[in-house]
């Protein structure tokens, strides 16, 4: 009886591990200003929308000015930002 219980439990674990995984993709929120340097970011979003196998989904968040974008990045409301190098270095020095 004990042998059958162990076999049954092992079989349940094997069957549970064979179940299809749900596609839970992580959403990366990227902030940007709608100027020319952000064009490649918008193209990347288009490519990722057609790539269904990627574990990440990019969500672009448009801002109207640099201070709002940097504030959102520093406060954690967005995961990343497409910004000019001078502004990134200035924001890093301020913390």
Ranges of each domain in the chain: 24-94
Cβ neighbours of residue 57 closer than 8 Å, sequence gap 6 or more: 25, 26, 27, 28, 48
Task: For domain 24-94, give the fold.
Answer: D-Maltodextrin-Binding Protein; domain 2 (3.40.190)
Position 23 pLDDT exceeds 60: no
Q: Are 70 and 81 in contact (CB under 8 A)?
A: yes
pLDDT of residue 92: 73
The pLDDT, as a whole number, for residue 95 is 64
Res 33: pLDDT: 86
The pTM is what?
A: 0.60
In 1-95, which residue ranges form alpha helices assigned H by DSSP?
Answer: 2-17, 39-50, 66-75, 85-94
Residue 75 to residue 78: CA distance in whole angstroms: 8
pLDDT at 79: 92
pLDDT tens digits for range 57-95: 888 898 999 889 888 988 999 998 887 777 777 777 776
């Amino acid at each position: 009886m004990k042998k059958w219980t162990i076999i049954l439990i092992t079989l349940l674990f094997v069957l549970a591990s064979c179940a299809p995984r749900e596609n839970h993709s992580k959403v990366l929120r990227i902030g940007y200003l709608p100027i020319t340097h952000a064009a490649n970011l918008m193209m990347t979003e288009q490519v990722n929308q057609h790539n269904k196998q990627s574990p990440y989904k990019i969500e672009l968040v448009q801002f109207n000015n640099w201070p709002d974008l940097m504030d959102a990045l520093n406060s954690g409301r967005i995961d990343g930002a497409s910004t000019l190098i001078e502004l990134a270095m200035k924001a890093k020095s301020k913390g």
